[in-house]
Amino acid sequence: MLVTRARFRVATTAYMSALFLISAGVMQAKTVTVTLHAKEVDLPIDNKGTMYKAWTYDGEMPGPLVRATEGDTVDFTLVNDSNNKNSHAIDFHAAQLDVVKDFGPVKPGESKHFIFTANYPGIFYYHCGADPMIQHIARGMFGAIIVDPKDPNAMPKADREYVLIQSELYPNPDNKNDMMQDKWSNVMFNGGIFKYDPVHDPNATRWLQAKPGERVRIYFVNAGPNEFSSFHPIAGIWDRVYQSGNPKNVHVGMQSLVVGPGDADTFDIISPVEGANAIVTHSLRGALSGAIAIIMYSKDADPKMGHGDEILVR
Ligand SMILES: [Cu+2]
């Protein structure tokens, strides 16, 4: 009887603390299983459909958006498809692992598996680290992982979220020397020249959307491989900037923040008016060669944009 009572008490305590955690909005850690396939494919790099010999994760530049919550276990597998010609790898900036064992190259037809705990919340870069790394990144092997804070109230709630990843385009994907000498032709957001800018490119069919007064959260990654970004919203002000996306690293009322190659930050913006902001790298050769994203603020903003599959707009 005593034993039963003790067990009951333990069970009740566990139940009550679980109830407390749920009512406090604290999520229990889970396992996020992710498999990415290295694929060497041709992809369009502008709104006209000009093709480029890319190297990718899952045939996309940028690669798929990975999302976990602080404290989660990420169970990760990289498959290097057997019809590829090159070794590939992955380097997750959200992970604390062994650079040789876990981030080392994988030959075509082989795969690699590792597990890490997402200990820090934020926005983190992932990329291929196979030699020569500069070429694997320049050809498209990059992406983003969002690690949401364990405490859902750590940051103000975003009404919409977007991911923008900056990278340079090197016209000849086989010429590593051009990459070493920084001879890029264009800077892009999400793998396309003026991809979200119908002002500079009438062929652009997509742009970002929100309503005036909404908090728009932009997860920004600079994939490089070489150029710094001076990330600025023309005709707007960043309400909050979180360095590395960590809620503890907060700045207020910022016009821009320099984001180096391989770095990432979270930028919140709220427009008090209808109209548009042009999000750029204020390093102007980069902006004027392709790194401009228009965000339109309208009461009729598409409710799907900035949610689900429309966070990283393809
Ligand atoms: Cu690679």
Domains and their CATH numbers in the chain: 31-148 (2.60.40.420), 160-310 (2.60.40.420)
Reference 167, options 264, 38, 89; nearest CA is 264
**pLDDT at site 28:** 84
List the shell of residues around ion ligand 1, using CB closer than 5 Å: 88, 128, 130, 136, 141
pLDDT tens track for 172-228: 999 999 999 999 999 999 999 999 999 999 999 999 999 999 999 999 999 999 999
Distance 204 CA to ligand 1 centre (A): 29
Residue 1 banded pLDDT, cuts 50, 70, 90? very low
Distance 36 CA to ligand 1 centre (A): 12
Distance 135 CA to ligand 1 centre (A): 8
Distance 97 CA to ligand 1 centre (A): 19
Residue 27 banded pLDDT, cuts 50, 70, 90? low
**pLDDT at site 183:** 98
Q: Which residues are CB-neighbours of 222 under 8 A, at least 6 positions away?
A: 125, 165, 166, 167, 228, 229, 259, 260, 261, 262, 263, 264
Whether pLDDT at 314 is above 60 = yes
Distance 207 CA to ligand 1 centre (A): 29
Average pLDDT over residues 63-67: 98
Residue 17 banded pLDDT, cuts 50, 70, 90? low
Distance 5 CA to ligand 1 centre (A): 59
The mean-pLDDT minimum among 2-6, 79-83, 201-205 falls in 2-6
Distance 186 CA to ligand 1 centre (A): 21
| DSSP letter string, the chain | -HHHHHHHHHHHHHHHHHHHHHHTTPPPP-EEEEEEEEEEEEEE-BTT--EEEEEEETTBSS-PPEEEETT-EEEEEEEE-TT-SS-B--EETT----TTTTTS-B-TT-EEEEEEE--S-EEEEEE--SSSHHHHHHTT-EEEEEEE-SSTTSSPPPSEEEEEEEEEE-S-TT-HHHHHTT--SEEEETTBBTTB-TTT-TT----EEE-TT--EEEEEEEEESS--EEEEEET--EEEEEETT-TTSEEEEES-EEE-TT-EEEEEE--SSSEEEEEEESSHHHHHTT-EEEEEE-TT--TTTTSGGGSS--
Distance 180 CA to ligand 1 centre (A): 17
